[in-house]
Amino acid sequence: MKQNGGAVMQVIGAGFGRTGTFSLKAALERLGFAPCYHMKEVLDHPAMIYQWLDIAEGRSTDFDAVFDGYAATVDWPAAAYWRELIEYYPDAKVLLTVRDPERWYESMRATILSRAHHGPGLRNRLFTTLLRLRGSDMYAFIRMTRVAVSEKVFGGSATDRETLIKAFHAHVREVRETVPADRLLVYEVKQGWEPLCAFLGVPVPDEPFPWLNDRDDFRRSTREFRKHAVWRRSAPRKALAKG
């Protein structure tokens, strides 16, 4: 296994966001696969936005720098690069989190899609232009998620139910067909500790499985990020010179 600042990348989460990834992060860390990378890390550490922007726009392939010190990763943006990561870390096990596609879409619609700022409307375009001129972390984040998630995972900015659910099914099928069965666990967080621990070869904790990041939690964390990121610049203006 490749080493990351003393940690070993042992678990790669290939599941889409809003499939229980924040609960899974907490569970993995409780099981000793800590720390576990998640979009929350990006929101908390803005410099990580620019690492992913460099990867998404082809300026870097240095995943060791991104995951320095991390033993696991789940959620976007890393999950969008599951193909690259399973080759980069060939000894890591792969977790594919799934849930009922209709419930997944409703969760997406109520959270991530409701917070998108790069739509076609005039207000959104003006807002994005202002952020670009400022060179803010918020603009970098919008740009990163557009390229690394919207375009890479969904092929563009489509947000309609049919397109997204079709992409969800296709993703599950592709991961199942690509990752060897002995390296992959297809998992719903509602299954709790037992299948996860059996797959990872660790004891089942004598405590409840963590249930985190409901819609209110998501809204609070993104609101806090936006409050600071709209005007903050964590990278030189030249880092956003193109795009």
Sheet with strand 184-187: strands edge to edge: 36-37, 72-73, 11-13, 93-97, 184-187
Check residue 137 and give its pLDDT: 87
Q: What is the pLDDT of residue 222?
A: 78
Sign of the Cα torsion 60, 65, 70, 71 reads positive
Q: How many CB atoms lie within 10 A of CB 100?
A: 10
What are the residues whose beta carbons fall under 8 Å from the beta carbon of 94, sequence distance 6 or more?
Answer: 11, 12, 13, 14, 82, 86, 175, 179, 183, 184, 185
Structure-token match 């070993």, residue found: 8
Going by C-alpha positions, the residue among 154, 134, 132 that lies closest to residue 145 is 154
Tens of pLDDT, residue by residue over 208-222, are 999 987 777 777 777
Residue ranges of alpha helices (H) inside the chain are 21-30, 39-44, 47-56, 63-66, 82-88, 101-110, 122-134, 137-145, 152-154, 161-178, 193-200, 215-229
| CB neighbour list of residue 135: distance below 8 Å, 6 or more residues apart | 233, 237, 239, 240
Confidence band, pLDDT 50/70/90 cuts, at residue 114: confident
| CB 43, CB 106: distance < 8 Å | no
Using the structure block, give the residue that is written with the tokens 């922007």.
Answer: 53
Please determine, for residue 135, whether its predicted confidence score (pLDDT) is greater than 50. Answer: yes
Cβ 9 vs Cβ 2: under 8 Å: yes
Supply 237's token pair. Answer: 């203006």
State the DSSP code for 180: -
- Mean pLDDT score, 113-140: 65
Domains in the chain, ordered, with CATH? 3-240 (3.40.50.300)
The answer to whether residue 196 scores a pLDDT higher than 90 is yes
As a whole number of angstroms, the distance between CA 110 and CA 133 comes to: 29
By the 8 A CB rule, do 20 and 99 touch?
yes
2 confidence band (pLDDT: 50, 70, 90): low
Is 117's pLDDT higher than 50?
no
For helices 137-145 and 122-134, give the axis angle rounded to 10 degrees: 120
Q: What is the pTM of this model?
A: 0.87
Which tens digit of pLDDT belongs to each residue from 178-193? 999 999 999 999 999 9
The DSSP call for residue 150 is: I
Phi, psi angle pair for 187, to nearest 5° = -145, 135
